[in-house]
Structure formats: structure tokens, C-alpha cells
Structure 1
Amino acid sequence: MINTIAFAQNKAKLPLYKNAKAPVESRIKDLLSRMTVEEKVGQISMPLGWPMYTKNGNEVEVSEAFKKSLKEEYTGMLWATLRADPWTKKTLANGLNPELAARATNAIQKYAIENTRLGIPVLLSEEAPHGHMAIGTTVFPTSIGQGSTFDPELIQKMAAAIAEETRLQGGHVGYGPVLDLAREPRWSRVEETYGEDQVLNSRMGEAMVKGFQGKNINSGVNVVATLKHFAAYGAPEGGHNGSSINVGLRSLHQFYLPPFKAAVKAGALSVMTAYNSIDGIPCSSNEMLLNDILRKDWGFKGFVVSDLNSISGLKANHHIAESGAEAAEMSINAGLDADLSGFGYGKALLTAIQSGKVSSQVLDTAVSRVLRIKFNMGLFENPYVNPELAKQKVRSAEKVALARQVARESIILLKNQDKLLPLSKSLKNLAVIGPNADQFYNQIGDYSAPQSVGNVVTVLQGIKNKLGDNTKITYVKGCAIRDTTSSNIEEAVSAAKKADAVVIVLGGSSARDFKTEYIETGAAKIQTGGNQLSDMESGEGYDRATLDLLGDQIKLLKAVVKTGKPVVLVLIKGRPLNLNWAAEHVPAILDAWYPGQEGGNAIADVIFGDYNPAGRLPISVPKSVGQLPVYYNARYPEKHDYIEMDAKPLYSFGYGLSYTTFDYQNLKIKYENGLATVNFDLKNTGSLDGEEVVQLYLKMKTSSVVLPTKQLKQFKRIALKAGERKNLTFVLNQNDLEIYNAQMKWAVEAGEYSVMVSSSSDQVRLEGKFKIEK
């Protein structure tokens, strides 16, 4: 009886913020009332996480760095604790497998709760755009490949798998999706985007948010999605990463903001600011973006976080702040809640508060937005994860199979002259050539962790898996991506001459190595000289002046094609490259972007006909950098040709071929009650089962503001058996029909509309019209 009374007395003394049954808003208010200013600032400061643990064999514990950070800075958030790559210097030897990762995050939480006055758990953010960037996780295709699937349902499944792997290891926030429009292919981060179109990006963003967050972020398998990079980051002047963006307010609303708006409406709980400025205002101190648009107009309920060092960048890069304190003041007053770096706020914000430049109300608002996530995720009740579950479920066979499916759906057939593909599995001799045929790090893209041998299936290995011992397979690298000192083109030609067919794998790489130097934000520093160049020509910091295949790659390709043997070109890369010569002279071309760990198996599935490709280009492929920008939905007037060439891209947005053929018929369009219903028949007229990506474009005859010559509104990836016909219906609603008008308002205007049912942005299969009366 005495124990029962003591328990009841202790329970009665429990602070309100620790009462799981109390309303979250009441818990936040109670906790804020107990916190010092220093503790509040610590809650919204997020230092680098990977120095915060130490590993000794199979034992892992918090580091002295974490103890110091917690004691002196009252740290409430960490970034990339489980990240492993050359920048962090975390390797397979000194990094953490999934089981140890779970133990590390448990140790961090235990120490934070037991060694601080208020026992607040730590919020852990992790990189997760195409897989959790940690050792032993599943590596999916990069986002540009995900966009190529035109399959949001599949991407939602992928996102759910990434979220589960992240959460089981102790992560709470996943950085992704990246919603920047890639309208500048010279830019180094094209691979991280879903492409050039705001509608495609919107649907992919919604899918990622739904997959990451699920229906309940307290599920134990979901994470908060962080939308990147707010805003207009993907079209920098000259392709320079983080450079200024010159875009009008109408263009911002019409093109660059819709993917973010769609993802916010889908429930996204975190947004990251971009490094760039827009019309002279840096995004990290842009009150119009962060308060007026994001919160007031869209109703965003989550928290805003800076990109790494972007708060201090107001002083160091943009030169609009005199001091760190002024930069902190400008950011938090503009609505930026959390600092990714640990020193953008911290002491600088304390100085701004003490000088009266930041009010207690502004500080409490920012802190409450972070605490709300912690309460809603149930971290105060259960901050720990199960290491055994992490060991069992991270990189499971089911997730590896999903990675293969995403990779297969992402592959684009650009050319298939005389139906060279699929190749026969009964070939006696096959030559596999090229710098990306058997380089597994080149295949997985930026934001990837170190991989154990055998985790990534290269194209060479995938072909061997497919053909077994029935075919003699000769592999010759031929050349590197950039370096020309060790090319062996003659050996490659010799192998090609002896073969019945050739698969040549070229392109680019975002693979970092331990020789690469990095700036403070983690972007790679360009090396223009040196005895031996790395393969890296893409990935954050690697902007290009041209889009040509680098090194001796084009020389290798020409020499192999000259043998007269059937040649299949496979491209593994992170951005559109110059394919002019290949498009004219190579009979078959597959674009696989960075296809992830199962890329080799997926590519072999397509090459040998076990999977009929249906990927579509999410970004146009220019003929020359002199054409840039070359995105399909440019505004009127239509572009005229140059002296040297026409203004059209080599391959347009939405383009992609199949091993079968499709016929479109019987278009019917009806407009009533604010909805335009588009109905038609689609038939697989070939002899093989396949998938078609049907794309619905719209243009207005006349409008109050200048609009694109055409704009994608809806799309669907549809599987049809050979000879099968399906009747399809698309319904265009107000969101599809409205424009950002002359009064800077979203509105549906009266007028005549053309509907184009297409297989790509430049291949209209059916066209009709409807009218909206005034």
C-alpha cells in the first residue's frame, strides 16, 4: 500500500510536458515555461552528428564531443549522425552497420535524457533522397531516375522503405524530396531532382512525403520529410551551384513553387531553405517565402531548417549581414526555425536576443515548432529503437527487389534501330566495354554511403547473372570517365571485333573518393589539374561548362562502333550529356541515370528482354549548351532556330521508346461543372506486353498573361498485354486549369483550351478542344 501511495504521489508531481495523455500544445507551453534562453537556442541548433559517437569494435558510445556539445550548447538536434562517405571520413571500418547505428542513436538519446536538466530527447535528421545515406542500407536510383519512372505509386513504396530503414536505426527526419526544377543541366545537382517540370515534380514530391511520413509519424517506421531547397535553386545563373536566381514573382509562383505547395498540402512537416538569393533576397532570410507564402498562404505547420551554413552565409557569401549575430537575427525573424550547422544560431543568436533584436515570442515560436515534432513522434515516451529489428529489416530481400523494380522502371530506351534490342540470350560472344561497366561507385550517385563488395550489381555482373556460362563475356574498361593516361582503346576494339554484339557503358560519375577536397558545406572542390583525375564530373559542387562526354569516352565509342558490330550504348550519369554523335551512329541507346545498387540486374533485364522499358525523360536533352535553357514548357513566343542548328532539343521531355507499339483512338472531351473530362482508347498494337506513359498537355489559345506553349497537367503509366485495349479517363480540375493571372492571383480564365494526349512533349497522338465561357 505504501508503494502505491508513493507511486501516485510521484505521478502527481510529473511535469505536464512529460504526461503523454496531455494535449501536445499544453506540453509544449509547459516545457517552454521551464526552459532557459540558452536551452531554447540549443533546441534549434543542429551540429554535425557523425562526431558524436565513438566505435570500438562492436561497442559504441557517445563521444566526448557530444558530451561537450550537450553541456555547453544544450544541443537538441543532430544532422547526419549515421552518414558515411569520404567527407565524413566514416568508412566500412570505422562506420556503423544498421545494428550498431541503432545502438549509437540509443546511446545518444540515453545520455541526453539522463544528463540534462529537462531530459529532452534529441531530434536526429538524416540524408535520405534515394536511400538512407548510411552503411548497409538499400541504395535506390537517384531522383532523376525516380522521376523517369513517371510512377508516383512506386516512388511512394520506395519512400516508405527508405523511411523504415532510417527510423529503425534511430533517425527521425529524412532529407528529401528535392523539389528543385532542373532547368540548367550544367548545374551539378541535376541528379538529385525529378526533372524540369513542376507537375511531374509535384506528383513525385507528394509520393515521397506520403511514403516518408505515412499516416502517423509515431508509427516507428516513418520519418518527417524535409522539402529541399526552398526555393528556385535548380536554375542558377551559368549553372553555378548556389548562385543567384533571377526570376519574376509570377514565374516563381507558376513554375518553381507548385512542387513545394503540393508537398506541403500532402502534409510535409519540414522545409529546408536554399543557398541562393531570389531577386537579391537570400532564401534563408526571405520573409515573403518563409512566412507569407509557406505559412500564411499554404498553411504549413512544420518547421523550417537552414541548409548547412546558409545562415552564416548571409555574411560570408551574400554579404548582407555585418556579423553572425545580424545573420541569425535576419534568419529567425524571417521565419527560419532551425540552424543546420550549430553556429548559425548558437552564440550568435544569443547575442541577437540579448541586444533586443530577437523577441522571446519569435524564439519561442521557433522552438515550439521543433518540440512539436518531438512530441508528435512520441520521443518523450519512447526515444529508443530496437537494434535487432534494424539488423533484420534494413536492406532486406524485399527492399532489394524494390530497388531493382525502381531501376527497371527508370530506364529509358532512347533509340532502337532495326529492333536491335532486346539482344538474344543465346549470343556466343559478348563484349562489355566502358568505364561505367564495372565501377560500382559510379553507379549509385551522390549522397551514397560506402558499399561492401557485392552489394552493388554492376552492368557487367548483371549481364553475367543473366547469361550464366552460356555466353563468353569479355570485359575491357577501355578508358576512364575523365582521366586519359591509362586508356586501352585498342584492347576494347579487339574485344569488340571478336564479339557477336557489344554493350558499351559510358557517362559520368558522382563517386567521391578520399582524395577529394570539400568545402564546409560538403560540396566537392573542383580539381582542374593533377596527375590523375577522378571520375567525378557530377554531384554537388561539380558544375559543368560543357555537357560533352569527358576524357576518351567519345573516342572509345567511335572506335567500337567502327568495328561494324551491333552496339548497345548504356548511359550511367547524373545529368543530360551531349549525345549528338551517338544518336546518329549508335543503333541502340539506353539511359539509366544512376540506377542504384540493383542497376546492373535491371539493365540486363531490359537488354535481354525480360523487362520492356517504359521510362521517360524527365528533362530535355540539348544538342548544345548554346541552346540553354531548353526545357519544353518555355513561354511564348515559340523559339526560332539558330544559324548553326535548330532550337529543338535532341530528345524532349517525356520521350522514351518501348519494344512494343501503342495506338491512341476515340478522343472525347467534355467540360461541365468546372471539370474537363478527357476520354480515349489506348491499345498495345505490338506482339509484346508493355507499358505506356500517357501524358496530357494543355495550352490556352489566349490568356491574360504569357503562358507556356504547352504544359503537362496529368500523366499515367499503364501496363497493357499484347493486343490489349483500355479505355482511359483523365479529369482536369481547377488546380489543373488555373493560372497565376495578371492580378497575381490563381484563377481559371475563360477561353479556348487545346488538350493534347501525347506520348512525349513533342509527340501529340490525339488533340481536341474545349471552351470555358466567361
Structure 2
Amino acid sequence: MHAIERRMPLGATRNLGLAYRAGRVSGEELRALGINVDNAPVVDVNINPLNQADGIRAYGDNVRLVSRMGAAQVLGYQTDQQRTGVAATLKHWPGFGDAPVNSDTGVAISPQTLAEVKRDNLPSFEAAIKAGADRIMVTHILFPKITGTKIPTSLSPFWVNGLLRGHLHYQGPVVTDALDAAALDGFTPGEVAVRAIKAGADELIEVAQTPSDKAPADLVSAYPAVLNAVKRGVISKRRLDQSVTRVLELKWKLGLVRNPYANPERVSKVVGTPRHLAVAQRVAENSITLLKNSDQLLPLAANSGKTVLVTGFGMTATATLGQDLTARGLKPTVMPTGSNPDDSAIANAVSAASASDLVLVDTFNAWGSPQQIKLVNALLATGKPVIVAAVGTPYDVAYVPNASTFITSYGYQPVSMHALVKVLFGQLQPTGKLPVTITEPPPSTKVLYPFGFNLRPGP
């Protein structure tokens, strides 16, 4: 598939039409490849900037923005489902936005009360449900102030049968997040499966650990546990029939009963077409947000022959930036340092920066990587002009306050890097608006850049 960036760039565009078209393009390409369900979009409201689960997968931290963008993208995904659309899946119910730990790697705990969940988390799900979202993924979060510290949301009838089906009146299939998550380590695979079904889940995601696995290891013990629960009456046959009916109704809606197969000849006619690539380009070009240009370093002059060190996160990102700078008559040295550069890599980058006219360093969620912050500060200390480009979330700007030039693309795919370079040279105005509020690093709550902030380069 081509690379339409994730949801935060869409949030920065504020363009509902683009959100719809991005969803439609993704749906059409997935369907052409024989995939009829997409486990997207994320409609969590990114309340906590230290959220490890969502990041650029979220549209932003404003509930109204997330609600409108999520609903628009659902409509795009699900256009003409009998032939070219797919089933969209809202996640991560009931909202990951205020849980700093990713449940895949640890126990995610949200400090929210039920009133806060209803105010901050539920509206975006409700809007997308009203738009017709076909599936919802429930994740594994603990809400101590609501349901205690023992049973995560995916195994809790309160969150699925109660709040989702009862309060929001959602009647479609519910799918669990991956059941190999660290958040479920306190339960056996069989117990997880039985509890999830009793809570209201219709589809269980079991994960194979290696490509050679014939079946996920947890499934081997989960399957007989469910059968035994049915035999003992712990899970009723009526309850199983509900899940089967929901899944079959969705298959019918998608046209899979009539024609379950994809046509391989459609792949080249659909995937990566100029029309689709143009949508990806529009998303990227409308999302770039300039946050700082204190020294009026931007726009850069083309064909200056200046030497530039391109360093920081991502082999592909830095390589693409280097190619685009070369095409504009500069002389780049590309030196990727990754997401956690060691001191040796930082020293090498500083040495290269000292011999360059200009430095372009990209960061990816540096707020969680002290070594990335150390790299940026070391480059700034050389006294050379430095452009810092966040290719993940824009929160990095709060962690490098001495940077005088800071820009964010919300993504690191080539399409975003091309758009970023266009802005650096003044070929494109940075029209993106912050989809989040940026404060000083926690625990401070002092606002540095408000929701909606954007800056234009000097004359």
C-alpha cells in the first residue's frame, strides 16, 4: 500500500474532506488486496501528552476535532462496501488518551472518573458510531476510580455490555485488542477468552508469536476453555449465537457471502494510483506546522551550495531529506542516529555538524528518549544554524527549548518528508494547525503552544 500518514496529520489539516478521502483511499486499496476489515481509525482523544499507545495515531487532544475527523474517516472507509470499501474499527474503547502506559507492554491505568470518561472519551466514539462504524475494538485498561484495579476493560461487562452497548446503543461486533498483551499477564489464556466473551466481545484477537506458528499458542488453550464454559453453562449458546449473528451480518453487509474472493487483477489498477498518491500528498502538504522561526532561518535559499548535516531518527526519513536537499542545490551529509543514539553516535554527529554550514535534525517522540534530546542539544551547542523537525508528535518542542527553528510533520514517510522540504524552501506555506496543546514538560501545565497554533515564515 501507499503511505497515507496516520491520523495526527489529518487533525492538523482540519480538513474533513481530506479525512474522508484518506479513509476511502485506504479502504479501496485494502479491499483490492483482499482485506475487508481495517483495525482503524483510532478515535482516542490524546489527553495525556505522555501517552505511549496513540501518539500520531490519534487525531489530536480536542474532543470535537477527534469526533468530526473520526466520523468523516469512517464514512470514507465504508463507502461502497459491497465492492470497494471495508469495515472500519473504532479503537481503543473506552479511550486510551489519558493512560500513559501502552497495554501491549505494561498495565495501562487511567486516572479518569466515569464523568470524565463520558465527557472526554465517549463523544468521539458516539460520533463515529452514528456515522455507521462497523466494528469497535476494546482494549485493556484499568480505571481504578470506576471499576477497580483487577479487571481490565476488555474483560469487564460494565465497559462492553454496559457502557458501549447499553449507554451508546452500539449493536455491532466488538473485537478485543491483542490478547497477548502484558496487561493480561495475570490471567490464563483460557480465562481471558471466557471473560472476554462474557463481557460482550464477539471476536478475540490471538497473536502468533512467530510466522511459522500454525496457530497462536494461547489459542490452543483458549479454545477448549471456551468449549468447556459452554458445556458448563458459564457461556450460554444464546450468547454465542449473538456473536455469530453479528459477524455474519457484517460479512453480508460487505458482500462476502455473495463474493468472498478478491480479484488479483484489480491490485495494479487500485493500489498506488496517481489519484491515491495525490491524496496522500495533499494530506502531508496541508499538515506541516511551523512552531518556531526565531532567527528567521526559513525559508532556505535553493542552489546555495551550502553543506548540510542531515541527522536524527529514521533511515528512510533522513535519506529522503538528503535526496530532496540535493535536488535543491545543497550538499547534504546524511547520518541517521536512530531513536536512541549512543554517545558515540552523538559525538560523530557533532563532529559532522561542526564542519557543515547548516544542520537538519529530525526527532521522533524525543520526549521519551533522553538521548535524542541530548543529540539535539549537542548540535545546538556547536553554534551552527539548526533546524529541528519533529516527525512524530509535536510535543518534542517542549524538550528542546533552545532550538530557534522547529517544524513538525507528524509523520516520517517519504510523502511527509517531501512536504517538509517544500516548506523549508518556501515552496509551500505551512498551513497545518496544532491538533494538540503543548505545555512545558510535566508536571508543569504552562501552555507553550495552544491548540490551533501555527506560524508562517518571515518575509
TM class, shorter-chain normalised?
A: 0.7 to 0.9
Per the alignment, residue 363 of structure 2 pairs with 507
Q: Equivalent residue of 1:141, what SS?
A: coil
| CA deviations over 1:724-749 (Å, ceiling 9, x no partner) | xxxxxxxxxxxxxxxxxxxxxxxxxx
Where do residues 11-50 of structure 1 align in structure 2 (5 Å cutoff)? none
Q: Indicate the SS of the match to 1:188.
A: coil
**Which of 28, 33, 47 does residue 164 from structure 1 map onto?**
28
| Higher RCO structure, 1 or 2 (CA under 8 Å, sep 6+) | 2
SS in 1 for 2:281: helix
Superposed CA deviations along residues 641-698 of structure 1, whole A, max 9, x for unmatched, are xxxxxx41322222211248xxxxxxxxxxxxxxxxxxxxxxxxxx9xxxxxxxxxxx
Match of 1:376 in 2: 253
CA distance in 2, matches of 1:489, 1:555: 12
Please point out which of 387, 392, 411 is paired with 1:573: 392
Letter in 1 for 2:298: L
1:621 to 2:419 alignment = no
Determine the structure 2 residue equivalent to 1:654: 452
Say which of 474, 497, 501 aligns to 2:332.
Answer: 474
Q: Residue 178 of structure 2 corresponds to which residue in structure 1?
A: 308
Letter in 2 for 1:366: S
Whether contact under 8 Å (1:431, 1:495) holds in the other structure is no
Instruction: Give the drift of 1:146.
Output: 2.4
For 2:209, the equivalent position in structure 1 comes to: none
- Counterpart of 2:49 in structure 1 is 185
In the TM superposition, 1:747-762 aligns within 5 A as none
Residue aligned with 1:165, SS: helix
Corresponding residue pairs, total = 437
In the alignment, what sits opposite 2:16?
A: 152
CA contact (8 A) 1:209 1:225 kept: yes
Amino acid at match of 2:171: K
Q: Letter of the aligned partner of 2:168 in structure 1?
A: W
SS in 2 for 1:458: helix
Q: Deviations over 1:535-576 (max 9, x none)?
A: xx7xxxxxx7x564527412442134x13x4x4322222462
Distance across 2 between alignment mates of 1:257 and 1:579: 29
Q: What's 2:413 paired with?
A: 596
- 1:284 is aligned, of 129, 151, 154, to 154
Q: Deviations over 1:713-770 (max 9, x none)?
A: xxxxxxxxxxxxxxxxxxxxxxxxxxxxxxxxxxxxxxxxxxxxxxxxxxxxxxxxxx
Is the 8 Å Cα contact of residues 191 and 222 (structure 2) preserved in structure 1? no
SS of equivalent residue, structure 2 residue 39: strand
**TM-fit CA distance, 1:393:** 1.9
Q: 1:188 to 1:238 in 2, by over 3 A?
A: closer
Q: Give me the whole-angstrom Cα distance separating, in 2, the residues matched to 1:401 and 1:203.
A: 23
- Secondary structure of residue in 2 paired with 1:374: helix
1:463 aligns with 2:325: yes
In the other structure, the counterpart of 1:59 is none
Note closer, same or farther for the CA distance 1:237–1:479 as it changes in structure 2 (3 Å cut): closer
Give the TM-score normalised by structure 2. 0.87
Amino acid at match of 2:453: Y
Gaps of 5+ in 1: 1-136, 444-456, 510-536, 538-543, 628-646, 661-686, 688-774
Selected match of 1:488 from 333, 344, 348? 348
Matching of residue 175 in structure 1 with residue 45 in structure 2: no
Q: CA deviation at 1:394?
A: 0.9
Which residue number in structure 2 is paired with residue 274 of structure 1? 139
Match of 1:396 among 266, 273, 286: 273
Post-superposition CA distance 1:193-241 (Å, at most 9, x none): 1222211111121122011001x321x2100001111013232256775
What secondary structure sits across from 1:407 in the alignment? helix
The correspondence for 2:125, drawn from 240, 250, 260, is: 260
What is the correspondence of 1:614-693 to structure 2 with a 5 Å cutoff? 614-627=431-444, 647-659=445-457
Question: What secondary structure is seen at the aligned counterpart in 2 of 1:485?
Answer: helix
Structure 1 position 301, deviation (Å): 3.2
> Does 1:414 pair with 2:286?
no
Instruction: Name the structure with the higher helix share.
Output: 2
The CA distance in 2 between the partners of 1:212 and 1:336, in whole Å, is 23
Matched with 1:296 is: 166
CA distance in 2, matches of 1:324, 1:589: 47
Q: Note the 1:722-733 alignment, pairs <5 A.
A: none
CA distance in 2, matches of 1:301, 1:238: 29
1:353 deviation in Å? 0.1
Does the Cα contact within 8 Å between 2:101 and 2:109 map onto a contact in 1?
Answer: no
Does the 8 Å CA contact 2:77/2:86 hold for their aligned counterparts? Answer: yes
Q: Distance in 1 between matches of 2:451 and 2:3?
A: 26
**SS of the residue aligned with 1:247?**
coil
Which of residues 176, 185, 194 in structure 2 aligns to 1:317? 185
- 1:357 paired with 2:229, answer no
Identity level (%): 28
Q: C-alpha distance in 1, partners of 2:452/2:107?
A: 27
Quote the Cα distance in structure 2 between the aligned partners of 1:180 and 1:265: 16
Q: Tell me if structure 2 keeps the 8 A contact 1:191–1:575.
A: no
- Residue 605 of structure 1, CA deviation: 1.3
Equivalence for 2:213? none
Q: Distance in 1 between matches of 2:111 and 2:295?
A: 46
| Mapped partners of 2:142, 2:399: distance in 1 | 35
Number of the residue aligned with 2:211:
none
Q: State the Cα distance separating 1:142 from its structure 2 match.
A: 2.4
Equivalent-residue separation in structure 1 for 2:6 and 2:344 (angstroms): 30
Contact 2:93/2:136 (8 A) holds in 1:
yes
Aligned-partner SS, 1:271: strand
C-alpha distance in 2, partners of 1:547/1:195? 21
**Aligned counterpart in structure 2 of residue 439 of structure 1, from 315, 326, 329:** 315
TM-score normalized by the length of structure 1: 0.53
1:553 is aligned to 375
The 8 Å contact of residues 70 and 128 in structure 2, kept in 1 or not, is answered as: yes
Task: Supply the distance in 2 between the matched residues of 1:337 and 1:379 (Cα, whole angstroms).
Answer: 18
Q: CA deviation at 1:622?
A: 3.0
* Alpha-carbon distance in 2 for matches of 1:313, 1:329: 18
1:369–1:585 Cα change, 3 Å: closer
- Which stretch of structure 1 is more off in the superposition, 611-620 or 327-336? 327-336
Which one has the bigger strand percentage?
1
Q: 1:641: which partner in 2? A: none
Contact between 1:425 and 1:608, CA under 8 Å: does it hold in 2? yes
Indicate whether 1:198 and 2:74 are aligned: no
